[in-house]
A and B are shown apart, each in its own frame.
Chain A
Amino acid sequence: GDSVTQMEGPVTLSEEAFLTINCTYTATGYPSLFWYVQYPGEGLQLLLKATKADDKGSNKGFEATYRKETTSFHLEKGSVQVSDSAVYFCALTVSGGATNKLIFGTGTLLAVQP
């Protein structure tokens, strides 16, 4: 079945460091890919998305490129801030499906220290 695998955390970085969180997927159809973020005490929020191969999603300085050849959608940010501390979830949905239900990875906790 469809699944998402993302790197285990926690990831601990100093402010202004470069961030990469790896995400790979397995899908029977042609998926759309997402990164969601969960700040402490808040609900999941969509961070960025990409719907076809080679698309780059970006938001708030974060970027991820849909790589069909490596079935990957790695999250990157050039300079993290303390306010980026949160749990990040990679997810997919199979385009054309009736429900658009999301399939999530296990999440990666990011802790940014000043």
Chain B
Amino acid sequence: DTGVSQNPRHKITKRGQNVTFRCDPISEHNRLYWYRQTLGQGPEFLTYFQNEAQLEKSRLLSDRFSAERPKGSFSTLEIQRTEQGDSAMYLCASSLSGGLVEQYFGPGTRLTVT
């Protein structure tokens, strides 16, 4: 078990471009979360998957954001027409189901929109 991995670790893009991030959760974990962390703030919840089903989306997730988790394994987060305000660290976490279980976080993808 290598933990939660995220790729790329860093992404610099120009305003208006599309970007896609990938998260590979711990293999037996069926819950997957995306959070966003801006400088000086704590992580904020974006969206949640139970297996392949996206069950909750935050109001922070505008129409330019889309997340998928095909086959309930890895997940992707795509941002279309990036804006400077999208610059942040995007964190992925995974957990088992059932009760209050620990979420394991990946190292994050740092996005800079110029």
A binds B: yes
Residues of chain A having any CB pair with chain B under 8 Å: 4, 32, 36, 41-46, 49, 51, 89, 91, 93, 95, 98-107
Q: Is the CB of B105 within 8 A of A43?
A: yes
- 7 A-B pairs with least C-beta separation: A104-B42, A44-B105, A43-B105, A101-B45, A43-B107, A99-B48, A99-B56
Select which of A41, A46, A89, A104 is within 8 A of B102 by beta carbon. A46
Select which of A41, A45, A103, A106 is within 8 A of B105 by beta carbon. A45
Taking residues whose C-beta sits less than 8 angstroms from the other chain, chain B's interface range is 20 to 34
A interface majority secondary structure:
loop
Q: Is the CB of B108 within 8 A of A43?
A: yes
In Å, the complex CA distance between A23 and B35 comes to 21
B26 contacts partner chain A, Cβ-Cβ < 8 Å: no
Select which of A43, A91, A98, A106 is within 8 A of B106 by beta carbon. A43
Residues of chain B having any CB pair with chain A under 8 Å: 3-4, 31, 33, 35, 40-45, 48, 55-56, 91, 93, 95, 100-103, 105-108
- CB closest residue in chain A, given B101: A100
Q: Is the CB of A44 within 8 A of B43?
A: yes
Question: Separation in Å of the A2 CB from the closest CB of chain B?
Answer: 11
Apart from A44-B105, A101-B45, A105-B42, list 8 A-B contacts with CB within 8 A.
A43-B4, A43-B107, A46-B102, A49-B100, A51-B100, A99-B33, A100-B31, A106-B42
Known: A98-B56, A101-B48, A104-B43. A44 touches B91 (CB 8 A): yes
Residues of chain B within 8 A (CB-CB) of A93 are: 100
In Å, the complex CA distance between A98 and B91 comes to 20
In Å, the complex CA distance between A104 and B100 comes to 16
- CB closest residue in chain A, given B5: A43
